[in-house]
Structure 1
Amino acid sequence: MSSAPEWSNPLDADRVVAACSRLDQSISGYNRHAVMSERYRRSMERFNQAQSRFESVRWMVEETRATVGAQQAARAETLERMRVARVAMAEHRASIESCVRDYVHALRDEGLTPEKVLVAVKGRLTHAVTEEAPDAPVFEAQRLAVDVLTWTIDAYYDAA
């Protein structure tokens, strides 16, 4: 007499677990760099405001040229660090897309329906962006969530 086949949870498959782990790490890295991107944006706003004030009191600058030169050098250094952070954020975003595709392909290959795959990816996204994970600016997190769902749908229907 043959016994009933054992059904394993497709979410426990090694490939799915590995893809899930890479996705979590990519989202965490993205969040760290999204914070830097938000700081960059705020720095640019402050810089523009400071520049406007500078123009309105230009005659006072003549007395403080040396100080302004030092501030400009520091600002250039800060902007370069922020630019590097923004590039890193873009790389993490590309990594997230790749990991989402791997995860979706792994789930699809395990026989999950598109709806279940979408729920699983949303669950990973919710799990990875929590109070314990680095905070991302709300705008960046929302944009990432929309992109992740778009990537999920595209990846599910990729030619296998």
Structure 2
Amino acid sequence: MDLILWRHAEAEDWHEGCDDLARSLTPRGEKQAKRMAAWLDRQLPEGTRILCSPARRCEQTVLALGRKYKLREEIAPHATGDELLAAAGWPHGKSVIVLVGHQPALGQAVARLLGLQQDSCAVRKGSVWWLRTRERDGEEQTVMVTVQAPELL
């Protein structure tokens, strides 16, 4: 199974009294989303399932890809890394899955899958972490396929 974790692009800052789910991408964030979406579109096979947090900034990020997606409450800003992995069906899902979500849950999922000592790792805004599960010698392994940042595309 391939799991692509895509953090939403740069968004407006949170401030007291604002609706976190309603925060929009900044102009820089819109450029990041377009750049990463163009790269992803060339890489993703047909039939890729795309799951997106209901937060506006995530939906704006995924809209740049121009593919069908589903909003999923279980990957909203309050989610944990384990909840993201469960929503994706990791590690036994049948298709390529793209999850568009938030920190710290994305970093928690990466840390768990790669067996890092810390509970989480930094996932930059707009970046993609592409992981794959495979079986070798009767043991299930997680392989890092690539990490991409929009600034480097």
Query: Which of the two has higher C-alpha Rg?
Result: 1
Q: Relative to total residues, which structure has the larger strand share, 1 or 2?
A: 2
TM-score for both structures, normalised by structure 1: 0.26
TM-score for both structures, normalised by structure 2: 0.27
Q: Relative to total residues, which structure has the larger helix share, 1 or 2?
A: 1
Higher RCO (Cα < 8 Å, 6 or more apart): 1
